[in-house]
A and B are shown apart, each in its own frame.
Chain A
Amino acid sequence: MPSQLKRLLVLGVIIISLFLLLKHLATPVSFGQYGHYRGNSLNEIAALPVKYVGSKTCVKCHDSIVALKLEGLHSDIQCENCHGPAYLHIKTPKKDKLFRPDSREFCAKCHSFNKARPEKAVTQQDIKNHHPEKKCITCHNPHQP
C-alpha cells in the first residue's frame, strides 16, 4: 500500500473515532427519551412563566368591567387581547401598568375594511370617514361598544 494512502487511513480512523467520542460525550443525557429531542426540554418549557393569565383573573379586582364587558358585543374578546399580557400586573398592579389602547388605529386593527377578513365575524367600518375627528372611545365604551 502506498505511504500516502496509509497515512490517510490512519487520519481517517482518528477523525472518525474523535467524532464518535464527541457524539458519545456531547449528546444530551435525555436525548431520544420520547422522540428525536431532549426529553428534559418538556419540563424546562413547562416551567417557563405563563404570560397570559386569562380574563377570569381580572374579576378579583375589576369585577364591574368584567360584568360590563360580558353583556356587550366585545364579550368574546379576552381582556388581554386589548391590554396585553398581565402576568406582572396581577401581582404588582401599581407598578406594572397595562397598555391602554385608546387610539383610533387600535380599534381599526379589527374594524377597518379588509378583504381578507370575513365580514360576518367583525363589523367593518370605514375608519377614514367614521367621525374622523374624535377617538373611538369618546362614543363607544371599549368594554361595551
Chain B
Amino acid sequence: MNPQYDQLYQALTKVVGYIYPNEIELNWSILIVLYPYITGLVAGAFILASLERVFNVNALKPTYVIALLTSFAFLLVATMPLIFHLGQPFRAWEIMITPHLTSAMAIFGFVYIWYLMVVLVLEIWFDYRRDLVIWSNESKGVKKWLYKILTLGVYDISPEAVKWDEKLGYIVTVIGIPSAFLLHGYVGFIFGSIKANPWWSTVMMPIIFLFSAMVSGIALVMVIYIVINYIRKQKIDMLCLDTIAKYLFYIIIIDFTMESLDQIHRFYEAGESFEIISLLMSGKLFFTLLIMQIFIGMLIPLLALGFLQFYKPNEKLRRMIYLVTGILVLIGIFFMRWNVVIGGQLFSKSFLGFTSFKLSLIGTEGFLMASIWLVVPFLILAALLWLFPPWKKSPSEH
C-alpha cells in the first residue's frame, strides 16, 4: 500500500468519537513537556537561592551557590527541547534579530536572554569574582586562563571592591526575583492564553506554573544537595535540609491549593467543555494525573513532609525521607507538565472525541531524545561544580 495512506489510516485507528483532522497527531510532544519542566526547575532553584540572599534565611546558606549553579546549568539547556522540536536549529537566532513584539511566544528569546545574562550570569559572577581572582593566581594551565578570562581583567579584591560585589549581587538578586517570576509565569501565560483550549485557558495558569516551578526547583536543589554531600562524604547540614523541606512543604500546600481551586472552579462552573474534560481526567489522564501527579507527586510528599514538621526521627531516616520525597515531587511535577501539555491535545476542540498519544522510544520526539535533555544539565552542573567548587569559596558575608 502507498505508505502515505498507510500512515493516515494507521493514525485514524487512534481516534475515538469525532475529532477534527488536524487533531489526530499531537503537535506538541514530550520535548514541549520538558520545556516548562526545565524552565520551572530554573526558576524554582533561583527562588530558593534568593530566599537566602534577599529574605535572609540564614539556614539555607549551604545551598545558596548550589542552587544558583543548578539554576544556571538547567537554564543553559532550557531552549534545547524547543530548538530540537522545531527542527531548524540554524534558524533559532532569527527570533532575536526579527523580534515580534506582540507575540508571546516570539518574545521568549528576550525573556530568556534577560534572565540568563542579566540575572543569573551576573549574580554568579559577582558571587564568584573574588574567588576567580584568587583561583586564577593559584591554579595552573588551562584552568588558570579560564579563571583569568572570567575575571574580565578586574583583579581588585580589596574589601571595598568585595563590598561592592555584595551590594551589586544583592541588587541583581532583587531584580532576579521578579525576573524568575516573569520567566516561568510567562511559560504558564503561553498555555493560559490559548483561549480555544478549555484545559489550558485559565488565568490561574501562570500562577500554578509558578508555584509548581518553585516546588520542583526546591525539590531538585534538596536532592542535589543530599547527593553531593553523599558523594563528597561530607556531613550534611541538617538544619539547612530541614529548612528546605519546610519551605518545600509550605509551597506544596500553596501549589496544591491553587491547582485544586482551579479544578474545583472547573467542576462548579461545569461549562460546555466540562463533560469532555471530566472524561479526560477519569480516562486518558487517569494514570498520569490522578496517580502520578496528585497521589505520588503531591499527597505522599505532603503527608511525609507534614509528618516531619511535627515529629523528627533520627537524621539518617530523615535524610532518606527527604531524598525520596524530593524525587517523588520531581516526578510529580514532570507529570503535571505532561498533563498540561499532552492532556490539552488529547481531546477534540469539538468536545466530541479523543485522540491518543504514544511516546516513541527513538526519533527526534522520542523518549531517548528527551532523556538526553534531562541528563545534560546534570553533566553541566557536575562540570560547573568541578570548575567552581562552592566548598572552596572563601566565606562570604551574606
Binding site for B on A (CB under 8 A): 2-5, 7-8, 11, 15, 19, 22-23, 26-27, 31-32, 36, 84, 99, 101, 103, 105-106, 109, 114-116
Contact = CB atoms under 8 A, between A and B. Distances in A.
Contacts of A8: 122, 152
B153 A7 contact: yes
Interface string B112-154: 0000010000100010010000000000000000000000111
A88 to B, nearest CB: 16
B359 interface: no
Given A27-B97, A103-B1, A11 B152 contact: yes
A116 B154 contact: no
B154 A4 contact: yes
Given A106-B1, A116-B17, A116-B19, A5 B97 contact: no
Contact of A101 (B2, B12, B156): B2
Nearest to A11: B152
Contact of A114 (B2, B5, B12): B12
- Nearest 7 A/B pairs, CB to CB: A2-B164, A23-B97, A4-B154, A7-B152, A7-B154, A3-B154, A3-B156
A8 to B, nearest CB: 7
Interface in B232-282: none
B9 interface: yes
A4 B98 contact: no
Contacts of A114: 12
5 contacts: A3-B156, A8-B152, A27-B98, A31-B98, A32-B98
A116 B12 contact: yes
B152 A36 contact: no
B5 A109 contact: yes
Given A4-B129, A8-B152, A99-B2, 5 more contacts: A4-B168, A11-B152, A19-B96, A101-B1, A115-B17
Nearest to A10: B152
Nearest to A25: B97
B15 interface: yes
Contacts of B353: 116
A137 B156 CA distance: 88
A84 B100 contact: no
B156 A4 contact: yes
A15 B8 CA distance: 49
A114 B5 CA distance: 16
Interface residues of B, number: 28
Interface string B191-230: 0000000000000000000000000000000000000000
B161 interface: yes
Contacts of A109: 5, 8-9
Interface in B149-192: 152-154, 156, 160-161, 164-165, 168
Contacts of B287: none
B15 A116 contact: yes
A106 B156 contact: no
Interface string B324-357: 0000000000000000000000000000010000
A22 B2 CA distance: 47
Contacts of B1: 101, 103, 105-106
Given A4-B154, A8-B122, A84 B2 contact: yes
Contacts of B154: 3-4, 7
B18 interface: yes
Given A84-B2, A116-B19, A116-B353, A36 B100 contact: yes
A26 B100 contact: no
A5 B172 CA distance: 12
Given A101-B2, A109-B5, A2 B98 contact: no
A4 B165 contact: yes
Interface in B87-120: 96-98, 100, 117
B2 A3 contact: no
Contacts of A7: 152-154
Contacts of A116: 12, 15, 17-19, 353
A105 B13 CA distance: 14
Contacts of B2: 84, 99, 101, 106
A106 B122 CA distance: 62
B165 to A, nearest CB: 7
A5 B164 CA distance: 9
Contacts of A19: 96
Nearest to A31: B98
Contacts of A23: 96-97
A143 B116 CA distance: 63
A26 B5 contact: no
B11 to A, nearest CB: 12
Given A36-B98, A106-B1, A109-B5, A5 B168 contact: yes
Contacts of B97: 22-23, 26-27
A64 to B, nearest CB: 25
A22 B1 CA distance: 50
A142 to B, nearest CB: 14
